[in-house]
Structure 1
């Protein structure tokens, strides 16, 4: 496919799961992708930045994603500092 500048670009770019590094296929509708916002620790408001986390179907199928599983996955991505401002306790 060509973009407006005339450069050849891919129509689809493959994604990988954040923790498993498995490729998420085109027809895979069981995977999820989330944007976790960054919160300013002083003000407590959204600072216009976010981190993207993709969770592949294997993790979704093997575990029901409870909040502690989600925190474990996001801790692996070094986002716990962001979640401390969002999650109570």
Structure 2
């Protein structure tokens, strides 16, 4: 299992769609801020929550063990990390998505 860590606050695939783009006064296209939700608690992760993390867990082919181009993304807010519940929350989410055996 491969784990990729990402510290970004917005996903590029969401901001590139036309509905999430707007123009400023100069006529230039700018991205809208799209808030994320915590995967463990369903709280909205604010722009100033610098303790939050986003983790991409790669899906691998069972036969070859190679990355198949898809991954699961989990966002954990700073409050969950501060309480020390991030590891348990990630394990629970991975079991729900059948990444880890139950």
> CA shift at 1:73, angstroms?
3.5
2:55 aligned with 1:12: no
Q: Name the counterpart of 2:48.
A: 27
| Structure 2 gaps, min length 5 | 1-21
TM-score (norm 2): 0.62
RMSD: 2.4
TM-score (norm 1): 0.70
Structure having the larger proportion of residues in strand: 2
- Structure 1 runs, 4 residues or longer, greater than 4 Å off: none
Is the CA contact (8 Å cut-off) linking 2:76 and 2:86 kept in structure 1? no
| Structure 1 gaps, min length 5 | 85-89
Aligned length: 76
Give runs of aligned pairs for residues 1-89 of structure 1, distance below 5 A: 1-2=22-23, 11-63=32-84, 65-66=86-87, 69=88, 70-76=90-96, 78-80=97-99, 83=100
